[in-house]
Amino acid sequence: MSMTIHTGTIAHVRGDPFGAEEALEIIEQGALAIDRSGRIGLLGERNAVFEAFPNSEIIDHGNAWLIPGLIDGHLHFPQFYATAGPGNGLLDWLENTVYPAEASFADELFARAAAERFVRHLLACGTTTAMVFGSQFYDANLALFDAAARSGIRLITGMTLMDRNAPPILLRTAEQSLDPVEKLIGLCRTTPRLYYAITPRFALSCSPALLEMCGALLKCHPETYLQTHINETRTETAAVRAAFPRSRHYLDVYDGFGLITERTMLAHSIHTTDAELDRMAEAACAVCHCPTSNAYLGSGLFPLQKHLTRGIRVAMGTDVGAGTQFSVWRELSQAYKVQQLRDCRLDACHLLYLATLGGAKALGLEHEAGSFETGKSADFFVLDYEQDSYLAARLGRCENAMDQLFCLLHLADERHVGATYVHGRLAAPRNRSLP
Binding site for Zn ion (CB under 5 A): 267, 319
> Among residues 90 and 213, whose Cβ is nearest to Zn ion?
90
| C-alpha–C-alpha distance, residues 235 and 254, integer Å | 18
Nearest residue to 93 via CA among 188, 229, 248: 229
CA dist 360 and 347 (Å) reads 19
Residue number, 74 or 416, with CB nearest to Zn ion: 74
Dihedral (CA of 29, 35, 39, 41) sign: negative
Nearer to Zn ion, 35 or 319 (CB): 319
Helix (H) or strand (E) holding 43: strand 40-45
Closest distance of CB 296 from Zn ion, Å: 11
Alpha helices by DSSP H, listed for 342-386, are 348-355, 357-362
Any bridge partners for residue 198, and if so which? 226
Q: Are 69 and 129 in contact (CB under 8 A)?
A: yes
Q: How far is the CB of 239 from Zn ion (least distance, A)?
A: 16
- Smallest separation (angstroms) from Zn ion to the CB of 20: 32
Q: Which is nearer to Zn ion, 11 or 267 (CB)?
A: 267
Q: Return the number of the residue (319 or 413) whose C-beta is nearest Zn ion.
A: 319
Which residue is closest to Zn ion by CB?
319
Minimum Å distance from CB 321 to Zn ion?
8
Give the closest residue to 267 by CA, choosing from 310, 309, 215, 322.
Answer: 322
Least separation in angstroms between residue 299's CB and Zn ion is 11
For the bound state, the minimum distance from the C-beta of residue 227 to Zn ion, rounded and expressed in Å, comes to: 9
Q: State the sign of the Cα–Cα–Cα–Cα dihedral 137, 138, 140, 145.
A: positive
C-beta closer to Zn ion: residue 72 or 319: 319
As measured in angstroms, the least distance from the Cβ of 290 to Zn ion is: 7
- Pick the closest to residue 18 from 272, 270, 314 (CA basis): 314
Nearest by Cα to 360 from 156, 157, 174: 156
By beta-carbon proximity to Zn ion, the closer residue of 41 and 134 is 134
